[in-house]
Chains A and B, each alone.
Chain A
Amino acid sequence: MSEQSLAIRKFSDLANPTRFLGLAERLLPWFSGLTALLFAVGLYLCFTTEGDYQQGETVRIMYVHVPAAWLSMMCYTVMALSALGTLVWRHPLADVSARAAAPIGACFTFLALVTGSLWGKPMWGTWWVWDARLTSVFVLFLMYLGLIALNRAMDDPGKAAKVSAILILVGFVNIPIIKFSVEWWNTLHQPASVMRLDGPKIDPEFLRPLLIMAVAFSMLFFTLHIAAMRNEIWRRRVTSMRRQAARNVGAVGTGMEGPNA
């Protein structure tokens, strides 16, 4: 056996949902604990570091906002990789992963938008600015919601998997174009009057809690993602058991009607 085929076999061992469930059961407590710990440290640092002389206390919003925005993009990348896994390698867990990641991604994106808006009110004097970044995150949010709607509209998970994988990839290819065009549009309509986060160099004082929060958020994502994948696998098993039950009644031919024939 060549090394490569061995690697493939290991890979497909992991593909076995039962194995994945076992792994998830073992990992989840550790992941949750680590996430809680990181959040404790991160939040403590967030509230103990000094406020910015210019932005005051509102700078603390950034510690939530920036990691959430990063995660909203990472989550779509995870979905795009999963979509590739579904279409190219036909990995059975890939579509579970993509399906589970969509609502999580939407939540992070929503969090980024809300915190951005809260930060914008004292800083820009308005809840919403059609800034290039905010707008592209908003479009990303719309794309997440569209994907969730599509997933919910299709009842056959196998078919929904391939079709939404295609859409995820089309979206992924389009994200740079959308980002680029939104930036173009923004400079056309309102020249750089908007203060940007990346304008001033970030002080190490702020960087430390920010990085810890970023790691905490990532761990939160992995924890939620694994848990959501586990739930999705259970949900599918329940569905297929129900189908089995319905079929057995038909096969025995007892003439008993199911509750929803």
Chain B
Amino acid sequence: MISLFLRDLKLSVRAGGGALIGVLFFMTVVAVVPFAVGPDLNLLSRIGPAILWIGALLASLLGLDRLFQAEREDGSLDLMLMQETPLVLTVLVKCLAHWSASGLPLVIAAPLLGLFMNTSELAIGATMLTLLVGTPAITLIGAAGAAVAVTLPRGGLLVSILVLPLAIPVLIFGVSATYAAVEDPAPFLPPFLILMAITLFFAVIGPLAAAAALRSSSD
């Protein structure tokens, strides 16, 4: 299993891997927002955490469709389906590797972009923390979408359409927790704990659904 993790990590870092592109996309999306809403720093600092979250959500969906499709195209998926190792575990490890290569860089890039948005230090810290906890949930539920669309030649867009509605709770609690940390009356912990619970929940149903979909779409 460690070998699978390392291999996927290597693949996404080598030429053609999606890790860098995800971060670039994230930065571009966030950089474009001020052009749309205007350069008012007060407004930007108010919506900054929300913009960061939306950027991260879209960037995590990017490249998700290749998670199983690349394996299917070169025949590796067949071999993974045949092993004694439970498929659910294989899927989970692939998700973790995908997140480490494309989700973690987003979390690391977030503070820099937060500065562009004139976000306060506390808000930046809160955004980072919620992204760290929340983005794995997007990858995990996204794996189910990616597995469902694995046989479709241009499934990329479809994966986003299928996964985004399911990812709404992650966005809601991620952003709520961030704002709760900054604004006084609302407590930070309840939404943050719920966010964690959603991540754990998706860590169960995402790989389960993905494994079932991969088995049934083998042909």
Distance in Å: Cβ of A19 to nearest Cβ of chain B = 26
Is the pair A153, B158 in contact by a Cβ cutoff of 8 Å?
Answer: yes
Instruction: Given the known inter-chain contacts A150-B162, A154-B152, A163-B213, please indicate yes or no for A181 contacting B205, CB distance below 8 A.
Output: no
A184 interface residue per 8 A CB criterion: yes
Interface size class of B (residues with CB under 8 A): 20 to 34
Known: A150-B158, A167-B148, A182-B172. A177 touches B198 (CB 8 A): yes
The reply to whether B148 and A173 contact each other, CB–CB distance below 8 Å, is: no
* B145: chain A residues within 8 A (beta carbon): 167
Instruction: Report the bound CA distance from A178 to B202 in whole Å.
Output: 13
B173 x A181 contact (CB < 8 A): yes
Measured between C-beta atoms, what is the minimum distance from B48 to chain A in Å? 17
Choose among B165, B176, B179 the residue with the greatest number of A CB atoms under 10 Å from its CB. Answer: B165
Among A143-157, those with CB < 8 Å from B are: 143, 145-146, 149-150, 153-154, 156
Query: When the two chains form their complex, are residues B168 and A178 in contact, meaning their CB atoms are under 8 A apart?
Result: yes
Contacts of A185 in B (CB 8 A): 172, 176
A175 to B118 CA separation, bound complex (whole angstroms): 36
Chain A residues closer than 8 Å to B186, beta-carbon distance: 188
From B161, B176, B191, contact of A146 by CB (8 A)? B161
Q: Tell me the nearest residue of chain B to A152, going by C-beta.
A: B158
| Residue B24 CB within 8 A of the other chain | no
Q: Check B219 for interface membership: any CB of A closer than 8 A.
A: yes
A181, B169: Cβ atoms under 8 Å?
A: yes
**Selected contact of B144 from candidates A145, A167, A182, CB within 8 Å:** A167
Contact check, A174 vs B151: say whether CB atoms are below 8 A apart: no
The answer to whether A184 touches B165, judged by C-beta atoms less than 8 angstroms apart, is no
Question: Contacts of B144 on A, CB cut-off 8 Å?
Answer: 166-167, 170
- Chain B residues with CB below 8 A from A156, complex form: 219
CA distance A178 to B209 in the complex (A): 18
CB of A146, distance to nearest CB on chain B (Å): 5
Q: Tell me if A21 counts as interface (CB < 8 A to partner B).
A: no
Interface residues on A, range: 20 to 34
Roughly how many angstroms separate A185 CA and B171 CA in the complex, as a whole number? Answer: 10
Q: Which residue of chain B lies nearest to A164 when distances are taken between CB atoms in the complex?
A: B148
Nearest Cβ on chain A to B75's Cβ, whole angstroms: 18
Query: In A161-201, which residues have CB < 8 Å from any B CB?
Result: 162-164, 166-167, 169-171, 173-174, 177-178, 180-182, 184-185, 188
A185 to B191, CA, bound (A): 10
**Does A178 contact B151, Cβ atoms closer than 8 Å?**
no
Q: Is the CB of A142 within 8 A of B165?
A: yes
Q: Residue of B at shortest CB range from A141?
A: B165
Q: CB distance B216 to A174 under 8 Å?
A: no
Residue B212 interfacial (CB < 8 Å): yes
A159 within 8 A of B: yes
**Residues of chain B lying within 8 A (CB to CB) of residue A153:** 149, 152, 155, 158
Residue pair A143, B165 in contact (C-beta under 8 Å): yes
Complex: how many Å from CA A174 to CA B162? 12
| Cβ-defined contact, B169 with A178, below 8 A | yes
Q: Say whether A139 faces chain B, with CB atoms less than 8 Å apart.
A: yes
Given contacts A159-B151, A167-B162, contact A182 B213 (CB under 8 A): no
**CB-CB < 8 A to A181: which residues of B?**
168-169, 172-173, 194
B161 touches A166 (CB 8 A): no
Complex CA gap A149/B155 in Å reads 11
Question: Quick check: is B217 within 8 A (CB to CB) of the other chain?
Answer: yes
B47 at the A interface (CB under 8 A) = no
Most buried by B among A150, A159, A164, A180: A150
Given A159-B217, A159-B219, A188-B176, A173 and B169 contact (CB-CB distance below 8 Å)? no
- Closest CB in chain A relative to B150 CB, distance in Å: 9
Which residue of A has the minimal Cβ distance to B152? A153
8 Å CB contact of B205 from A173, A182, A188: A173
Does A184 contact B191, Cβ atoms closer than 8 Å? yes
> Does B21 count as interface, using CB distance less than 8 angstroms?
no
Alpha-carbon distance between A173 and B166 when the two chains are bound, in angstroms: 10
User: In whole angstroms, what is the CA distance A143 to B168 when docked?
Assistant: 12
Bound: A142/B179 CA distance, A: 27
Contact bitstring B120-163, A, C-beta under 8 A = 1, else 0: 00000000000000000000010011001101100100100110
